[in-house]
């Protein structure tokens, strides 16, 4: 993975000292809370209902064992012994003291981590495919491109006070696991007719109050131009994005107001001024960066280890885990292991210090010392030998990280909701529990297959409900918590927003409604259709009829 050089180190440690200065000026009364607010935000520090929340950047979700141990240590020393892995592949600590934050950042800088630009109206952490480098459908490894964009966007002086936050995602595989069409800028790798690498560029996608699918601004952008083209988009947005209303300030609103064609013309005109200047990348830059993400020292193995078949037949729990939580690897004899952070009864995405340490150790022992964070609030061990699967499973199971539910209804994305968030209309964690309890029969879950369930506690959509195969949105009805359901959303290649099922549902009936939706699916599905496929074929009506039938 990427290792800091002297420049990276200087920038991150100067930044820690700069923030230490800001905090001490504030504590001494020389910097008002109002003036500190945007500065602390650009260092990942929010105010929440109960306390500050610190969001630490995990660039494109990649974290080493050493870094994971440092995160565990932060949660132990400065927090309540757990952290929350987020949908943008970062980690959040919910209880740090303001005065401790400069020390936390100092500790993290020792393992080459920081919280720069993890919040505030600036360019955020670059997100990507959690299977980068090991996916069977990979065209090109997106990580070098992510790291190049990360460095260029870090402390960019001109784009630090944008109209609103700005998120960039990169995918290098056929299947889009990075939701590039739901980012302010999405980059999807493509080859042109001359076999040159470039990117299809999407702009203006996003969720939140006004969900929009990103539009193609450029069909083929040569890879050497990614920085200058991003800069042109950012400059047009910085100058023309709305600043009078924060709900209309994202780039998606600007792109819709101007129309994609006029927006493109404006960006292209801007780009012409400097496209062949200093920002142009050279082949050597990609090679140098790719060298930080080498193929690990794989052994020569063959796939289909006999022992795995035997273990699967002997132990139904191992079988369930293998079938659900592991994925084909590009290298023979290896598998990708998903580590579920959706244990029954635990807030989705949370991990304790003990679990983080355990993961760090397992990764060191079996997976070249690297871990990935997924945008579905889980972790990944990318390089596990098939012959080690039983041991890995046992070690994960010991720390309750082997719940065999990846991709199922129980593997839901869920925002913090009323339990932590001052904006929430309704709680989401307790509804997650209700659903966990209703669907506790794993055999049934496996029969249902892939269902991406996503839940947000209000229309800010932190839980991405618009793109859930089933989406749940908390709404407030005269002070009571109600839930609006959607069906058919999709964050991947065939990006779609979910269709409204009907009027909101009472809190204690949400589990039943999900049950009804799944029953309709089981009745109507043909062959190997997923819920999403069946919905696309039959539409919303059969689901609607069943869910609301009892009231009729």
Partner 1 sequence: MSATKTVANRAIKARAKATPDRIQKDIISAKAIIDQKIVDNAIHHVAETEELTIADLPEGDISVPMNMWLDHKAELQARDSLVAVQIAADEFPEDFVEEYAEISHIVLPMVAHIDGRSYSHAFKLRTRFNYDGEIRAIGDVKYDQLGFLTRSGCNAFELPESESLEVALNAFSEMSDVYQPSADGAPLIFSRRRTVH
Note the residues at the interface with partner 1 (CB under 8 A). Answer: 5, 7, 10-11, 14-15, 17-18, 21-22, 30, 35, 38-39, 121, 148, 151-162, 227, 235, 238-240, 242-243, 254, 257-259, 262, 265-266, 269-270, 272-274, 277-279, 281-282, 284-285, 288
CB 472 within 8 A of CB 453: yes
For ligand SF4, which residue of 382, 424, 448, 470 counts as binding (CB under 6 A)?
Answer: 424
Q: Give least dist CB 208 to ligand SF4, A.
A: 9
- DSSP, res 498: P
Sketch the per residue contact string, 162 through 201, with ligand HEM: x for CB under 6 A, - otherwise.
Answer: -----x----------------------------------
Q: Give least dist CB 456 to ligand SF4, A.
A: 4
Collapsing DSSP to helix, strand or coil, 354 comes out as helix
Interaction between residue 416 and ligand SF4 (CB under 6 A): yes
Give residues 210-269 in contact with ligand SF4 (rule: CB under 6 A): none
**Per 3-state DSSP, what percentage of the chain is helix, strand, and coil (rounded to 5)?**
40, 20, 40
DSSP string, 279-339: T---HHHHHHHHTTSPPP------S--HHHHHHHHH-HHHHHHHHHHEEE-SSTTEEEEEE
Q: Which is nearer to ligand SF4, 264 or 465 (CB)?
A: 465
For ligand HEM, which residue of 123, 236, 461, 491 counts as binding (CB under 6 A)?
Answer: 461
Alpha helices in 382-509, H assignment, sequence order: 389-398, 429-438, 442-448
CA distance 305 to 425: 50
Interaction between residue 462 and ligand SF4 (CB under 6 A): yes
Q: Which is nearer to ligand SF4, 421 or 517 (CB)?
A: 421
Q: Which is nearer to ligand HEM, 207 or 227 (CB)?
A: 207
Q: Which is nearer to ligand SF4, 285 or 476 (CB)?
A: 476
CA distances from 419 to 29, 191, 234, 414 (A): 32, 46, 35, 12
CA distances from 41 to 45, 55, 119, 305 (A): 5, 9, 5, 50
- DSSP, res 173: B
Q: Give least dist CB 397 to ligand HEM, A.
A: 27
End-to-end CA distance of the chain: 58
Closest by Cα among 44, 182, 286 to 497: 182
For ligand HEM, which residue of 423, 475, 524, 540 counts as binding (CB under 6 A)?
Answer: 423
- DSSP, res 534: H
Q: Which does 456 bind (CB under 5 to 8 A by kind): ligand SF4, partner 1, ligand HEM, none?
A: ligand SF4
Interaction between residue 86 and ligand HEM (CB under 6 A): yes
| Segment near ligand SF4 (CB under 6 A); pick from 2-10, 278-286, 441-449, 455-463 | 455-463
Q: What's the chain's length in residues? A: 552
The kind and range of the H/E element at 483 are strand 480-487
Give per-residue burial for 402-412: e unless 16+ CB within 10 Å, then b. bbbbbbbbbbb
Interaction between residue 461 and ligand SF4 (CB under 6 A): yes
Interaction between residue 457 and ligand SF4 (CB under 6 A): yes
For ligand SF4, which residue of 210, 290, 361, 460 counts as binding (CB under 6 A)?
Answer: 460
Closest by Cα among 143, 158, 138, 129 to 230: 158
CA distance 101 to 97: 7
Give residues 43-72 in contact with ligand HEM (rule: CB under 6 A): 48, 55
Q: Give least dist CB 255 to ligand HEM, A.
A: 15
CA distances from 191 to 221, 498, 510 (A): 10, 31, 45
| Segment near ligand SF4 (CB under 6 A); pick from 40-48, 60-68, 79-87, 451-459 | 451-459
Q: Which does 239 bind (CB under 5 to 8 A by kind): ligand HEM, ligand SF4, partner 1, none?
A: partner 1
CB 461 within 8 A of CB 486: no
Q: Which does 155 bind (CB under 5 to 8 A by kind): ligand SF4, partner 1, ligand HEM, none?
A: partner 1
| Segment near ligand HEM (CB under 6 A); pick from 99-107, 315-323, 460-468, 521-529 | 460-468
Q: How many residues bind ligand HEM (CB under 6 A)?
A: 20
CA distance 366 to 351: 20
Q: Which is nearer to ligand SF4, 361 or 460 (CB)?
A: 460
Interaction between residue 421 and ligand SF4 (CB under 6 A): yes
Binding-site ranges for ligand HEM (CB under 6 A): 48, 55, 86-88, 90, 92, 167, 206-208, 415-416, 420-423, 460-462
């Amino acid at each position: 993975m990427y290792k800091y050089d002297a420049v990276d180190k200087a920038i991150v440690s100067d930044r820690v000292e700069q923030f230490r200065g800001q905090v001490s000026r504030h504590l001494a009364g020389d910097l008002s809370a109002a003036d500190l607010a945007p500065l602390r935000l650009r260092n990942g520090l929010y105010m929440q209902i109960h306390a500050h929340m610190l969001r630490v950047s995990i660039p494109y979700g990649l974290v080493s064992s050493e870094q994971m141990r440092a995160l565990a240590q932060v949660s132990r020393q400065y927090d309540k012994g757990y952290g929350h892995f987020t949908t943008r592949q970062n980690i959040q600590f919910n209880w740090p003291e303001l005065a401790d934050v400069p020390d936390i950042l100092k500790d993290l800088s020792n393992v080459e981590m920081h919280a720069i630009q993890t919040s505030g109206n600036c360019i955020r952490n670059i997100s990507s495919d959690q299977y980068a480098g090991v996916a069977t459908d990979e065209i090109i490894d997106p990580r070098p491109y992510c790291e190049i964009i990360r460095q260029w966007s870090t402390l960019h002086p001109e784009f630090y006070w944008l109209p609103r936050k700005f998120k960039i995602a990169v995918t290098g595989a056929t299947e889009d696991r990075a939701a590039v069409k739901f980012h302010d800028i999405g980059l999807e790798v493509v080859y042109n007719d001359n076999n040159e690498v470039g990117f299809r560029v999407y702009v203006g996608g996003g969720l939140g109050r006004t969900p929009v699918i990103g539009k193609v601004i450029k069909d083929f952008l040569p890879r050497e131009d990614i920085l200058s083209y991003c800069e042109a988009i950012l400059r047009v947005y910085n100058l023309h994005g709305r600043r009078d209303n924060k709900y209309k300030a994202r780039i998606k609103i600007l792109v819709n107001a101007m129309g994609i064609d006029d927006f493109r013309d404006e960006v292209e005109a801007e780009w012409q001024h400097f496209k062949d200047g200093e920002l142009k990348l050279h082949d050597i830059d990609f090679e140098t960066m790719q060298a930080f993400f080498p193929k690990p020292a794989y052994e020569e193995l063959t796939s289909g280890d006999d022992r795995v078949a035997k273990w699967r037949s002997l132990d139904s729990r191992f079988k369930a885990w293998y079938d659900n939580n592991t994925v084909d690897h590009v290298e023979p004899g290896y598998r990708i292991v998903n580590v579920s952070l959706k244990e029954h009864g635990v807030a989705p995405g949370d991990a304790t210090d003990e679990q983080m340490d355990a993961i760090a150790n397992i990764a060191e022992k079996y997976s070249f010392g690297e871990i990935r964070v997924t945008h579905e609030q889980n972790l990944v061990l990318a390089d596990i030998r098939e012959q080690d699967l039983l041991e890995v499973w046992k070690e994960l199971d010991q720390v309750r990280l082997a719940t065999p539910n990846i991709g199922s209804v129980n593997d839901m994305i869920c925002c913090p909701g009323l339990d932590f968030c001052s904006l929430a209309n309704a709680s989401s964690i307790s509804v997650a529990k209700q659903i966990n309890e209703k669907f506790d029969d794993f055999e049934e879950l496996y029969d249902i297959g892939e269902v991406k369930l996503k839940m947000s506690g209000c229309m800010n959509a932190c839980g991405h409900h618009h793109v859930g195969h089933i989406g749940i949105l908390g709404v407030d009805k005269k002070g009571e918590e109600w839930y609006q359901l959607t069906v058919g959303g999709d964050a991947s290649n065939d990006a779609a927003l979910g269709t409204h099922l009907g009027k909101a549902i009472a809190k204690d009936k949400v589990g039943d409604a999900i049950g009804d939706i799944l029953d309709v699916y089981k009745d109507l599905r043909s062959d190997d259709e997923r819920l999403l496929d069946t919905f696309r074929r039959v539409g919303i009506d059969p689901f609607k009829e069943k869910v609301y039938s009892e009231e009729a």
